[in-house]
Structure 1
Amino acid sequence: MKWATIANMRGAGWRGCCPWPGPRALGREADPGAARGRGRRGVGGGVPSGMFLGLACLAAAVILFLVACSRLKPYRILYPGPRLERTSLHSLNNSFLVDTPGCRIPNLAVMSPEVQEFVYDYAEVTCDEPPALVRSDDEYLYLVRSRARHYGVSPASVRCCTRALWLQQANFTLPELDKDGVDNSRLAAFKLPPGGSAKFGDVIVYSDDCTPFADVTRVPHEFVRVECQAEGREVYRDFHGFVRVAPRPRSASPGPARGLSVLLLGADNLSRLNMLRSMPRTLAKLESLGAVTMLGYNKARDCLHALPCPVPGLLQVDDYSYVNLVPLLAGQPSREMERRCLLDNSVFFDPCPWLWKRFARRGYRTALMEDTPRLGLFHFHSPGFARRPVDVDPRALLLAAERELPRTRAGTTSPVCLGPRFQIQGLFDFALKFVRAMVRTGTPFFQYAWGTSLTHDYLNQAQIADPVYERFLKDLEGTGALNTTALVFLSDHGNRVGPIVTTYQGHVEDRLPVLSFVLPPWLHRRYPLAVSNLRLNTRRLVTVMDVHETVAQLADLASLEAPRLRAAAAEVRARLEAGGAPPRALSLFLAVPDTRTCAHAGIVPHFCACVHLAPARVDDPRVLQAARLLVDDVNAALAPHPQCARLALGAVRAARRGEPASLLGQRQDDVPDRVREQEFLITVQTTPGDALLEGTVRHLVAEDVMRLAGRVTRLNKYGNSSWCAPERALMLYCYCTDPNPDPDPDPASPPPPPSPLSGNKEA
C-alpha cells in the first residue's frame, strides 16, 4: 500500500474499513476518550415512519458493512501487537502502561489531538536510480553489463577493477581491565607512545593495486572499492564487503551447555508510540516472530552518585545516544565506565568491559556495525578504538562509502540514499552476510547492528524505514539463524527535537523508546519460568542496564534453569526485606520488583516517565523562579568558556507541575506532607540563539528552595551556532560569540525540516 493511500485513510480517521485507532499493538489500547457524535431529533421530537424505515435500512447496511470489516481485519496487517493475552498479568489498566507501587507511566493515545498536527505521511521512496552496475553476494562480485545504458555507455566498453581498503591500526595495544571491568591498575600505569592519540578509526588505507575482473570474480579481500571505466572516464564507483574470518565451529544443537547467538538491532530516535504510527509492517513482522515488548522501558541517563540520584542542584549535561547505549554495551553508566577505563578525554575505548568481550571469551564471533559511521557511537567527538575491537567491523567499508558516494535526499527528506541504495541497506546487506557465514559454520555470534540514517532526523521519516526493516527481518528469518539467536529490537530514546517535543506527549515519548525481544520457540518451552518473568516485566519499569544483564545471561543458558532463577529471586527478596533498594540492574528473566522507582533504576528525575505532570501557568511566580534557576545553572556550566555567550531568559514557553516520582511507593504516613515537594517541568527560550531548553526543577516548599533535578535538554537544533563548544556536551547550550569559519553544518544537527511530500505540517 502506498503512503499516499495511507495518508488519505489517516486523514479520514480510518484504516481500511475499520476505525482508528485499531486493536492493541505493542501494548497500545484503543482510545477510550474518543469523541462521540450527537444526533438531532426531528421537529417536535417525532420521527416520521418513512424516515424510520430509511434509518432501519441504513442501520442494517451498516451492520453488514461492519461484519465484513470484522472478517477482513485489514488493520491486523498494519498495526499488530505483542500477544499480551499470553502473559500472566492482572487485568490491563487502560490509563497506565505501568501501574505499580513504584511507578505509574501513562498510557497515551497513539494519535492524540496533541500530536496529530505533527504527523503526516511520506510518499513511497526508493534509491535505486540508476541501478547498481555491480552487485555482490557472500563470495562474488557480478558486473551487470545490461545496466551500462543507465550510465550512458555501451555494455561492452565497461572495464572494472577492485581495490582493497582497511582502517589504520595503532602499533600498540592498550592494557585490558580485568574480566569484571573493575581493576584498571595496568591501564593507569600505561603511557601512550608519541602520536598515540591519533584517531585511527577515521583513517582509511587503500591498496596501490586495482585488480581487474571480468563479469564475475571471487573477492579474497574483506572490503573493496569497485572502480569502473568506459570510454576513457570513470562511470561508476561503489563499495562491497565480504566476511573473511575463520569460523569457530561448535555443536549446532542448542542446549544448556551452549548460549544463544545475539543480534542487537537498533533504530535510533524511535519511541514505541512513533513506531506504532510509522512502522506497521515492521511491527507485524515482529509479532509474527513472537516478540515480547517492554511497555515500561525508560531511556537511561547517567547517575553519578549513590542513591538518591542525582545530587540536587547538580547540572548534568549531555543528551546523546552515547549515554543511553554505553550502559547497554558496558553494563555501567557512561561516566562510571569512563572513570574506570579511560585515561583522559582523548584516550581510546579498547580497555573497557564491553559486552562482546564476554561473548568472545565463550567462543563467539563478534561484530559491531553502524550505518552512519561519521556519527558512530564511539567516534562522534570521541577517539574510538586504537585497534579493531571485534572480529568483524565494517567501519572502513561504510565510512569510505559515506565519504565517496553521493548522499542524496529522497524527495525532500534529509539524506537517506548513499549511491544506489538506502544508506542503511549497506549495513543490512553486510549484517546478513555475517549471519549467513556464522550459520553455515555453526558458529555462535554476537552482533550489534545500529541504524541511524532513516530514523534520526525527523519524526515521520521512520515511515521510510518501515519496509527496509521489515525486509531485513524477513531475510534474517530466511537464514534460519533465529532458531539459535535472540533478537533484541530497540532504540535509545524517542524523538528529541522538533515541535512534538514541546508537547507533554512528546516529552513522554522521548523517554519511552521501543524494546522487544524475539526468542526461539523452543526456548519458551525449555525455560518457561524465564519467559514468564520476561512477560511479567512488560508492565514494569525497566532500563537499558536491565537489557545488558538480560543479554549477558544468554551466553549461558544454564543460568535460565528454574532453580538458578529462584535462587537469584530469593537474593533480591532478601535484599528488599532487609530494607535495601532493588538492584540498579536486573536481568529481565527475573521478576522486576514492583516497588522499583526511577531512583532505584538510576534514572534522573528529568528523564523519569513515572510521574504525571499537570499544566501550570507560565506566569506563575514559582514557574518564573524555576525558569530563572534553569538558565542560571546552564550559564554556570558555560562560565569557564568565554567563547560561549551568556544566556538570558527570553520567555517561558511551557510549564507543568507534579509530585516527584520519588514519592511513589511511599505510604501516606511515611510522607506527612506530600506537597512539601513539587516538580516543575519547564521549557524556556533563551537569547541569544533562541535555544529551547527543558529541565525539571524540584521545589522544597517548606524551605522555599528550588534545585535542578537532573539534566537540561535542548528541544531544537543548534546547527552551526555551537561550533566553538570545547566539548560535545556543551554543544547543546553554547552560542558562540564569533561566527563559524566553516560554513558546513554540524553533522549532528540536520538541516532545517523539509516540506512533507503530502503537503502537511513537518515535525
Structure 2
Amino acid sequence: MVLYCVYIELYYYSNYNTNRFFDPEENLNYYKNFSVDNNVLYLVYNNKCRIPNLDIYNPDVLPFMKKRKFRPCTDKGGQLTYIQTVGNQNTLIIDYTKRNYYAIYGKISCCYSVVHRRKHNDNSYLIDNCTHFEKTAVLNSTIQFLIVKCERVFRNGRKKIVYAKAHAIITTKHKIRKRLDSFKQNDTTQPISVLMIVFDSVSRLNFYRAMPKTANYILSKGWFPLRAFNKVGLNTYPNIMAMMTGYNISQVQVKCNNRNPKRLDKCPLILYKYRGNGYVTAYGEDDSSINSFSYAGPGFLVKPTDYYIHQSLNDVSLQDSQTKLMFNNLENSGLFNKSIVIFMSDHGMRFGGYRKTYSGWLEDRLPFIFIWLPDWFRKKFPTAVKNLKLNENRLTTAFDLHLTLQDILKKSGRLKEATPSLACPKCKSLFEEIPFERGCEDASIDFEWCTCNGFHSIDNNIFGIDGVAEILVKRIQKILSKSSETRKLCKKPSLKSVIDVRESQLSTATVKFYLVTIEIDPSGKFEGTIVKTFIKGKNSFELKGDVTRIDSYGTQSHCIHTKYYKPYCYCKEKL
C-alpha cells in the first residue's frame, strides 16, 4: 500500500503574455482537437452559487493562445545512463548503444556524485566528489540520489561535458517492510494505494486547451472530473495545506507555520496518517528551489515521508503527448488496477495578460481535478461511485479532498473514524453526496476566492469609482507601512487608473459586490472585492478580503527580503 504525491511546477502555459518558446507556425487548430460540452450555461446553479460555464475558446482568451513546443531535457539519443534494480541491489549502467549520440569520436568518461540532504534542512544538500566508473557501478544500498556527468575526451586531452542526469533510487528499507508486514497480518479488506499527481497553476479550461491529448485520454477512460473545484487560498501553499491538513491558511500559520520547522514537523499532515496506518509514503517535487513547504521557510527538520524526492522527476514531461504517454505507461504497469489516482492542480494562472480578463479571474480560482477509481473499487463501493458522479457539478474544495483521503483509509480498513476539517466543519468526503444547495460559506471558501458570485461588466463611471479604487490603494499602502524595511526602501503607491469594474449577480438592493481591478503608480496591477452597503439612505464601502496582485513583479521588489511584501513593493532605487 502506497501513498505517493508528485507536485510538478508546470511552466508549460504558465504565462500567457509572453511568446518565449512559442512556435509561431502553430495556430488555433491545435486546440480544436478537443471540445467541451457547453450546452449548460452554469457549472453550478442554485440559490447560493452560480458559476458560469465558460467556453474554452471564450473570446477574451483567443488573443493569448499559441502552442508551446516541447523541448526535451536531453539530446535525441535519449538517456545514456539508467539504474537497474535486482532485489535490493542497484546498479548504475552506461547504455553504450546510445554512446554515439554523445560522442561519435573520442572517449566517453563518466562519474557519479552522491547527493545527501543536510540534516534538519529542506533547502540544503551536499554533493560528494565525482566517482569515476566504467560501464557499470554497484551502488551502496543507502544511496537515494545521485548525479551522473559524462565528458567527451578528445585526442588532445580537451574535455567537454556532453551529458548530465540526476537519478532517484527507491530501495525497500527493512523498517518499511516490517511496517507493511505487521499491518498486513491484520487486514480484513483490500487496502487501496493512492497516487496523486499535482500540476502547478493549471485551470480546468486551460487543461483542456493546452493538453487535449491527455484530456481525451482521461475522459475516454472513465475518470471522474470535478468541474467546480474551487481553490481556497491565494497560491500553492494554502491550497496544498488544505488538502494535507484540512486547515485554512490562518490555522496553518498558527499550527503549522513553515517558518518554524519544529511546528511544521508536528503538523498533522495526511502523509503522517497514512504512514501511521501501515502505508509506504513518498512525496516528490520537480524543483526544490520553490518547494511547497520550504519556499518561505526552512521546511521540515525530518523528512515527512519514507521517500522524499526533489529535482528528480525530469522524466515526467510538461508536454501534452509526454503526459499522455506517462498515463499510458502507468496503466500498462497495472497501477490503475490497485490504486486511486488523483490528477489535479492547485489553482489556475495567477499572473500574465490573460489573468487580467474575467475568464482569467475565474480560471485562477477553478483548477482542474480528475479522479480514477479501479474497477474492483467501483464494484465494491457503488454508493461512493454514485456520489462522486453526482459531485462532478457540485461546489467542492481541497477540504473535501482531505476528507476523501481519510475516507480511503477507512475503506481500506485502516482508519475507524475520520477527523473533521477544522476549517470546514460542513465539508464531506467526495464519496458522500455534497449538498446541491451549497455556497462558498458552506464550503469555507473566503469571499475573495469564491466563484459563486457571477460578476458581469458595468460602466466604470456608474458611481464614484476613483474613490472606491482608493480603498485598494490605501490597503496596499497600509501593508507597506507595517515594516520598517518597506517604509524605507519601497515607493509609496498611488492610483494610476481603474482597469475594470464588475458587479456580482448575487447583489441585492441594499448590498452590492464589486470586483475592481486597478493599476498603481509606479507599477502593479491589483484586484479586490468592494462591498457597497446602503443603510438609512447612505452608502458605505469596504474591502472584502484582501487585494491580490495579478501581474508579475519580477525584480521590482529585489531590495526587500520578506516574501509577503514583495508583491506590493517597488524599490525606490529603481526609479
- TM over 0.5, yes or no? yes
Q: Which amino acid aligns with 2:63?
A: E
Letter in 1 for 2:94: L
Runs (5+) with no aligned partner, structure 2: 1-21
Instruction: Find the counterpart in structure 2 of residue 759 from structure 1.
Output: none
Q: Does 1:367 align with 2:282?
A: yes
Instruction: For residue 594 of structure 1, report the CA deviation from its aligned partner.
Output: 2.0
What is the CA deviation profile of residues 144-174 of structure 1, one whole-angstrom value per residue up to 9, with x for unaligned ones?
335444444646x22323322210113xxxx
Partner of residue 196, structure 1: none
Note if 1:281 corresponds to 2:281: no
Cα distance in structure 2, aligned partners of 1:5 and 1:321: 31
Question: For the residues of structure 1 that align with 2:247 and 2:64, how far apart are their CA atoms?
Answer: 36
Q: Which residue of 2 aligns with 1:522?
A: 376
1:4–1:684: structure 2 CA closer, same or farther, 3 Å change rule?
closer
Contact 2:92 2:138 survives alignment (8 Å): yes
Name the amino acid aligned to 2:195: L
Deviation string, structure 1 residues 479-504 (Cα, Å, up to 9, x no partner): 21221211011101111111111111
Q: Which residue of 2 aligns with 1:270?
A: 202
Q: Tell me which residue corresponds to 2:525.
A: 692
Higher helix share: 1
1:518-557 alignment runs, 5 A limit: 518-557=372-411
Partner residue, 1:112: 58
Match of 1:626 in 2: 468
- 1:237 matches 2:237: no
CA contact (8 A) 1:163 1:206 kept: yes
Q: Which of 457, 465, 473 is residue 615 of structure 1 equivalent to?
A: 457
Secondary structure of residue in 1 paired with 2:239: helix
Whether the aligned pair in 1 keeps the contact of 2:511 and 2:534 (CA below 8 Å) is: yes
Deviations 1:111-141 (A, max 9, x none): 0112111112234543432644323344432
1:145–1:158 contact (8 Å) kept in structure 2: no
Q: Which residue of 2 aligns with 1:506?
A: 360
Distance in 1 of aligned mates of 2:256 and 2:188 = 33
CA drift at 1:556: 2.2
Residue 726 of structure 1: how far off its partner (Å): 4.6
1:610-646: CA deviations, max 9, x gaps?
1221212223334323211111111111112312221
| Number of the residue aligned with 1:704 | 539
Cα distance in 2, alignment partners of residues 287 and 216 from structure 1: 43
Partner of 1:333: 248
1:679 aligns with 2:513: yes
Q: Which amino acid aligns with 1:136?
A: I
DSSP-derived class of the 2:54 partner: coil
Tell me the equivalent position of 2:498. Answer: 652
The CA distance in 1 between the partners of 2:429 and 2:32, in whole Å, is 40
Counterpart Cα distance in 2 of 1:29 and 1:344:
45
Percent identity over the alignment is 27
Q: CA deviation at 1:381?
A: 2.2
Q: Does 1:134 align with 2:75?
A: no
Higher strand share: 2
Residue 226 of structure 1 pairs with residue 148 of structure 2? yes
* One-letter code aligned to 1:675: A
- Structure 1 partner of 2:29: 10
Q: Is the 8 A contact 1:425 1:468 kept in 2?
A: no
Which residue type is aligned with residue 723 of structure 1? H
Contact between 1:560 and 1:589, CA under 8 Å: does it hold in 2? no
Distance 1:528 1:14, change over 3 A: closer
In the alignment, is the contact (CA less than 8 A) between 2:56 and 2:208 conserved in 1? Answer: yes
User: Quick one: which amino acid aligns to residue 230 of structure 2?
Assistant: N
Maintained 8 Å contact 2:277/2:414: no
Give, in whole Å, the separation in 2 of the partners of 1:254 and 1:516. 32
Paired AA for residue 290 in structure 1: G
216, 219, 231: which is aligned to 1:299? 231
CA contact (8 A) 1:4 1:123 kept: yes
Q: What is residue 721 of structure 1 aligned with on the other side?
A: 556
How far is the alpha carbon of 1:557 from its aligned partner?
A: 0.7
SS class of match (2:453): coil
Q: After TM superposition, list the pairs within 5 Å mapping 1:22-171 onto structure 2.
A: 22=35, 24=36, 28-29=37-38, 94-129=40-75, 131=77, 132-138=79-85, 139-152=90-103, 154=105, 157-170=107-120
Q: Is 1:205 aligned with 2:126?
A: yes
Q: What code does the residue aligned with 1:557 have?
A: K
If the length of structure 2 is used for normalisation, what is the TM-score?
0.84
Counterparts of 2:492 and 2:426, CA distance in 1: 37
Over residues 544-581 of structure 1, what are the superposed CA-to-partner deviations in whole Å (9 max), with x where a residue is unaligned?
111111012111216799xx99xx9xx99xxxxxxxx9
Separation in structure 2 between the aligned mates of residue 128 and residue 168 of structure 1, nearest angstrom:
29
Whether 1:485 aligns to 2:436 is: no
CA-based RMSD of the aligned residues comes to 3.1
- Contact 2:494/2:520, CA 8 A, preserved across alignment: yes
Q: How much does 1:253 deviate? A: 12
Secondary structure of the residue aligned to 2:348 is: coil
| Per-residue CA distance 1:516-545 (angstroms, 9 max, x = gap) | 110111111111111111111111110111
In 1, the alpha carbon distance for the partners of 2:572 and 2:557 equals 9
Query: Within 5 Å, which residues of 2 pair with 1:411-422?
Result: none
Give the conservation status (yes or no) of the 8 Å contact 1:106–1:612.
yes
Q: Aligned partners of 1:382 and 1:289: how far apart in 2?
A: 41
**Equivalent residue pairs, number:** 529
Which residue number corresponds to residue 457 of structure 1?
A: none
Q: Deviations over 1:445-467 (max 9, x none)?
A: xxxxxx9xx4xxxxxxxxxx212
SS at match of 2:565: helix
Q: 1:234 to 1:388 in 2, by over 3 A?
A: farther
Moved more, 551-560 or 466-475: 551-560
Whether the 8 Å contact between 1:100 and 1:540 is mirrored in structure 2 is no
Measure, in 2, the Cα distance between the counterparts of 1:280 and 1:344.
39
- Once residues 333 and 103 of structure 2 are traced to their aligned partners in structure 1, the CA distance between those partners, rounded to angstroms, is 37
Q: 1:256 to 1:118 in 2, by over 3 A?
A: farther
Cα distance in 2 between the residues matched to 1:345 and 1:560: 31
Partner SS state of residue 467, structure 1 = helix
1:582 Cα deviation after fit = 8.2
How far off its partner does 1:345 sit? 5.4
Shift of 1:14: 5.8
Decide whether aligned partners of structure 1 residues 109 and 256 sit closer, same or farther in structure 2, where only a CA change above 3 A counts.
farther
Q: Deviations over 1:644-688 (max 9, x none)?
A: 22110000011101245xx7xxxxxxxxxx321111101100011
For residues 346 and 707 of structure 1, what CA distance do their matches in structure 2 show?
37
Q: 1:613 to 1:228 in 2, by over 3 A?
A: closer
- Measured in 1, the distance between the counterparts of 2:351 and 2:124 equals 32
Match of 1:425, as an amino acid? N
Hey, what's the Cα distance between the residues in 2 that align with 1:588 and 1:612?
25
Q: 1:682 to 1:560 in 2, by over 3 A?
A: farther
Q: Answer whether contact 1:254 1:260 (CA < 8 A) is retained.
A: no
Secondary structure of 1:382's aligned partner: coil
| Aligned AA (1:602) | S
